[in-house]
Amino acid sequence: MIRSRILAAGGYLPSDLVTNEALAQRYNLDTSDEWIVERSGIRQRHIAAPGETTSAMGAAAAREAMARAGILPADVDAVIVATATPDSSFPATAVRIQAQLGITQGFAFDILAACTGFVYALSVADSMIRSGSARCALVIGAEAYSRILDWTDRASCVLFGDGAGAVVLRAEADAEHGILSTHLHADGRLADILHVEGGPGSTGGTGLLRMAGREVFKHAVTKLASVVDEALEANGLARHDIAWLVPHQANIRIIEAMGKKLGLAPERVVVTVDRHANTSAASIPLALADAEAAGKFQRGDVVLMEAIGGGLTWGSALARW
């Protein structure tokens, strides 16, 4: 059986680290560290420097993942990038990254599923590897959300950060290790509770992020619980079989609720939201890179990833390390 195995993960965070207090001062926000931490668990975030592009951040994360995996540019035949903040409408940010990495073969394209983007991209890459369309893929989540935030809206602007994460997937004849399954969902009727105003095909230009926070929170709790159960049932696994939960890093209350649902000890839930804030499609691969660098994952560990984002989109991926 051919499976796609995660060989390694890598991450990149901009050098401008901004605490809650500094954020309030920088943008003259009527907020405080206590207010932000209580509602989200976020204490700081990284913000891209002027001129620092989504593709540059994605390429940096990919280089780290490739180095950890011992992979050369000539080994990669697919680059799939999840982003809601591309360098441009076209060409895809993925081809920009492909060029920056010196990859001259294979194919490259972007996926837009907001905060669920990495899970969507992982699912597509896994399907292509299983079908034989690719043998080694870079799956990248990269975001520059600071460019689409309304810095007068304290309810949303304090929640997001910039950064990129990447994983190397490779085809291996292994019936046990690798991506076990992925599960994707969307409901366009809920599109307006988390969206960015306008776009090239409507207003001619991209506007700012708008979010109905309470509505998003309500749907997140129920939909993530459902898609987690779906992943376990599809693989004949029980909650106690999960070694690690690597959730989308949006809100500490949602993360803790999912950990409790699975009966996981807090130390078995990978949490980076306090340091990274919500980096959208980059949050899960950044968390994977963080956990891998800390030596948390052991061969054979079952790792559950889940996310929800604008669309609404939501999904899960189950892997055996």
Residues assigned a catalytic role: 115, 248, 278
The full DSSP string for 197-243 is EEETTTTSEEEEEEE-HHHHHHHHHHHHHHHHHHHHHHTT--GGG--
Query: DSSP class of residue 290?
Result: H
3-state secondary structure of 70: coil
Query: Letter for the amino acid at 253?
Result: R
Q: In this structure, what token pair is assigned to residue 317?
A: 């991926």
Q: How far is Cα 95 from Cα 117, in angstroms, rounded to an integer? A: 17
Q: In this structure, what token pair is assigned to residue 137?
A: 């893929």
Q: In this structure, what token pair is assigned to residue 292?
A: 């891998």
Q: In this structure, what token pair is assigned to residue 251?
A: 């809100």
For 83, phi then psi, to 5°, come to -160, 145
Closest CA to 139 of 278, 8, 1, 320: 8
> What percent helix, strand, coil does the chain show, rounded to 5?
40, 30, 30
